[in-house]
Structure 1
Amino acid sequence: MKVEEKMRGVGGGQAANGRSRRRRRRRNGEDEAEEEMMRKRTTRRVQASSTTIQRLFVACRTAFKGPGTVPHPDDVHVLRLLLDKMRPEDVGLSSDLLFFKSRNAVNRAPRITYSTVYKCNNFSMCIFFLPPTAVIPLHNHPGMTVFSKLLVGSMHIKSYDWVDPVIISTDSKPSSQLRLAKLVVDSEFTAPCNTCILYPTSGGNMHTFRAMTPCAVLDVLGPPYSKEDDRDCTYYHDHPYSSFSDYDSAQQGKYDHLRWLEEIDIPKNLKMDGVEYLGPQILDD
């Protein structure tokens, strides 16, 4: 009996040791798997942090503090430097893409495509693709700071700021009030070129884009549009200053930079389609 009990004890100990070894092996295997997973995550994090779009994202997160604020000049400088160096490849684009090789205008209103790179309450990053002759109508950016970087192609940009103090035309119809604005930019841009920056009350807060060739432009807006927060997009039609003003024709050149802006409904021929962003991904942690 004692021998049998002793043998059973030995057998039980061996079984326990076997189970313990198996548990250790499982734990070791789990540890190795977890280490491998962490290694992959770290690798992805390092790769993501090294991309230009990731650095832009981090700079935006620092610069944009939310509605009612304007980025500090130092933060604007950082964003400008990053965007000035931005290339199409940094957002997964190539000038060899078929879209950018087409130079033929279509008979109907060309459709504009956009791709949202990132969006949060404080800022958004979006790429707009404009075929030849496509137009983004004159529109505003209420309370926003906007960075526009032309990545591919050539486009004409015209922008305005409101005249201060406010001047309203007394000759306009009550249903279509006209407000005086001053011309800020009226030029053609070809990539690669410097970044355009507009502010809530300066820099050309109201602008229009017209594609001369197939174009791609990256827009960084802070804060983004929001109907709920009274930051909806308003569209305008610009009228020559002479249309609703009396002045001496000899002084015409003095007023060439002025326009009357009339608020209008969203243009019926404005067509925009959203597509998935397929460029380098942003790590938001």
Structure 2
Amino acid sequence: MMMMSRENMTSIVQKIAKQALATFRNPAVVGEQSKAFLESQSKLKSLLEEVRASDLRIVPRSVETVASPSPLQRVAPPVTYMHICETDSFSMGVFLLKTGASIPLHDHPGMHGMLKVIYGKLRISCFDRLDKPRDCASGVQFNPPLMPFQRSSLRPSVLKSVGEYTDESGPCVLSPQRDNIHQIDAVDGPTAFLDILAPPYDPDEGRDCHYYKVLRGAEQVQGDVWLLEIPQPNEFWCGGEPYPGPTVTL
């Protein structure tokens, strides 16, 4: 049996991981959005509100101290990821964005998520899928025109919110139905956030990440957009970094 140090048992990241497991371990309860699930999710959100970069032993980076390319890389990735832990129920890690970097518009199919900035500032633009367009858009025109095969990749959606988050902000929360598609942009310098996804991405289970481009048709309802599914943008890729913080054991 693995023994944890007192520091690890009491660390905020260990508490967050244990609460995430308690919140998301029963898919039936999560799917029903029961009172018990909502209360457990609220406890998790409260714990996330407490976490700071120092709790994860991460030093906020300036423009000068962002990680350099590894010997195998010609250019440093715009985004890196520190893996903390993963179970069948959830994954947790830290994303670090360079100045001006973005995580492009993407989705989290069938997944819940929480995102807590630990340093810097993020702009998060959230979209919801619509069951069908709210205007007469069957013949909607785009400029430039779409190729016929692209029509099947269009998704009627609505821009729900655009907000800025710092380490003093509460977490950004997404569900399978709300704010599930979003873009994350670093604002005014490098930034980092703690990220929880439940359950983790798993293409074999239908939880693969899809990327989108925003299109607007003529005479469309205010706020409504079309999202065109696209390949992962060439300018975006994610590298890896070791996680320096307290060990998490579940």
- Measure the CA separation in 2 of the matches of 1:176 and 1:187: 30
- Say if 2:219 is the partner of 1:246: yes
- Say if 2:35 is the partner of 1:53: no
CA deviation after TM superposition for structure 1 residue 190, in Å: 2.4
- Measure the CA separation in 1 of the matches of 2:215 and 2:197: 27
Contact kept? 1:128, 1:217, Cα under 8 Å: yes
CA deviation after TM superposition for structure 1 residue 173, in Å: 4.1
Contact kept? 1:100, 1:215, Cα under 8 Å: no
Contact kept? 1:153, 1:215, Cα under 8 Å: yes
**Unaligned residue ranges in structure 2 (runs of 5+):** 67-74, 141-145
- Would the alpha carbon gap of residues 66 and 156 (structure 1) be closer, same or farther in structure 2, given more than 3 Å must change? same
Structure ranking higher on relative contact order (CA contacts 8 Å, 6+ apart): 2
One of 145, 153, 162 as aligned partner of 1:186: 162
Q: Tell me, what secondary structure is at the counterpart of 2:161?
A: strand
The 4+ residue runs of structure 1 with deviation greater than 4 A are none
- Say if 2:242 is the partner of 1:283: no
Match of 1:114 in 2: 81
- Measure the CA separation in 2 of the matches of 1:109 and 1:90: 26
**Unaligned residue ranges in structure 1 (runs of 5+):** 1-37, 248-254
Contact kept? 2:52, 2:167, Cα under 8 Å: no
Contact kept? 1:103, 1:132, Cα under 8 Å: no
One of 50, 74, 83 as aligned partner of 1:85: 50
Q: Which has the larger radius of gyration?
A: 1
1:92-139 superposed Cα distances (whole Å, 9 cap, x missing partner): 1123xxx335499xxx89521111110111100010000111010000
TM-score, normalised by the number of residues in structure 2? 0.83
CA deviation after TM superposition for structure 1 residue 66, in Å: 5.4
Match of 1:207 in 2: 182
More helix by share: 1
RMSD of aligned Cα (Å) = 2.5
Match of 1:125 in 2: 92
1:211-247 superposed Cα distances (whole Å, 9 cap, x missing partner): 111000111000010011110000000112xxx2436
Contact kept? 1:66, 1:223, Cα under 8 Å: no
More strand by share: 2
Which residue identity does 1:209 align to in structure 2? I
Identity of paired residues, percent?
A: 29
Match of 1:149 in 2: 116
One of 63, 73, 76 as aligned partner of 2:23: 63
Q: Tell me, what secondary structure is at the counterpart of 2:209?
A: coil
Q: Tell me, what secondary structure is at the counterpart of 1:228?
A: helix
Q: Tell me, what secondary structure is at the counterpart of 1:276?
A: coil
Aligned length: 227
TM-score, normalised by the number of residues in structure 1? 0.73
Q: Tell me, what secondary structure is at the counterpart of 1:61?
A: helix
- Measure the CA separation in 2 of the matches of 1:260 and 1:280: 43
